[in-house]
Amino acid sequence: MENLELPTPYNDIVLPNAWDIENKSFINIDSSGLKVSYADPDENKAIIIRANHPIPLECGIFYFEIKIKNKGKNGLWGCGYHGDDGYSFCSGSGEPYGPTYTVGDIIGCYLNFLKKIIFYTKNSVNLGIACHLPDDFKNIIYPCVGFKSQGGSVEVNFGHETFKYSGELTKSLEKKQNSQGKIFFFMGEYYKALEALTKLLEIEPDNIIALRYRGEIYYVMKKYKESIADLKKLLEIKPDDEWATKAIELVKTIEKIGKSRTNKCIKER
């Protein structure tokens, strides 16, 4: 798990490194075991593909990414976070979570067994905590992806390549600036991260790394106006920042969706 491992005394831990290729009808998996496509002729049938090994709790933190290669006939798939409607399913019932996603998008799933949290990323943007694990969580859990779309295909990255999300994080950490705030952010300690980054920005108001991470934290906290303000300032300082440009579009989209749902609820009352 490049860039995301924690030191561990366990030397014999076996991590997921490919999809499980056994007993999979209408599923095609390439020779690397990483790319999978769905070919069931029954468009009403759904299937879940899991990794070849469970995620060991001893590793503390685990992260993997899935790239959407082909949306297939109807674009119905998910990995706990659904691509067609943006809903997250953590304990059976779904609820609105993040933006939809499609071909070319990279969706990451982050599990922190130390802090008992799960969050997803879209194209290196942290979408916020999706759910909390029980304090006594000891279940076996596998990385998986669900299909209900003929011709749909995805490719998984279990760490054989640099992760889109951790790659951005690592680049920032290598600069050794405001690392405390970023580490709090990465560990899911958002309030501590916000405090540390805000203090830094009081001293260095044009620190683009601090603006980036505080903008993400505001997004996670659903403080969209504050998030947009930080991202706009980042773009004023660095107009060609591709990540910030995409991030501000995403935040504005989610803000509109939230307002639309609020107005709908008010009308129904």
Same domain, 187 and 61: no
Range of the domain at 182: 175-261
Q: Please provide the average confidence, as pLDDT, over all residues in the chain.
A: 79
Q: Does pLDDT of 173 surpass 60?
A: no
pLDDT per residue over 92-124, tens digit each? 677 888 888 888 999 999 888 888 888 888 888
Distance CA 154, CA 109 (A): 14
Q: 143 and 35, same structural domain?
A: yes
Of 133, 162, 191, which one is at a domain's C-terminal end?
162
Note whether 251 and 139 are same-domain residues.
Answer: no
Residue 163 or 174, more confident: 163
Domain count, the chain: 2
Alpha-carbon gap, residue 234 to 86, rounded angstroms: 27
Same domain, 51 and 157: yes
Amino acid type, 55: I
User: When comparing pLDDT for 144 and 75, which is higher?
Assistant: 144
Among residues 105, 140, 162, which one ends one of the domains?
Answer: 162
**Entry pTM:** 0.70
CATH number of the domain enclosing 199? 1.25.40.10
pLDDT of 1 > 80? The answer is: no
Domain boundary among 162, 186, 218: 162
| 129 phi/psi in degrees, rounded to 5 | -65, 125
- From CA 95, how far away is CA 128, in angstroms rounded? 14
Which carries the bigger pLDDT value, residue 171 or residue 210?
A: 210
Least confident piece of the model among 75-89, 166-180, 234-248: 166-180
Lowest mean pLDDT among 69-78, 79-88, 123-132, 213-222: 69-78
Q: Minimum mean pLDDT among 16-20, 242-246, 261-265: which range? A: 261-265
Q: Write the CATH number for 65.
A: 2.60.120.920
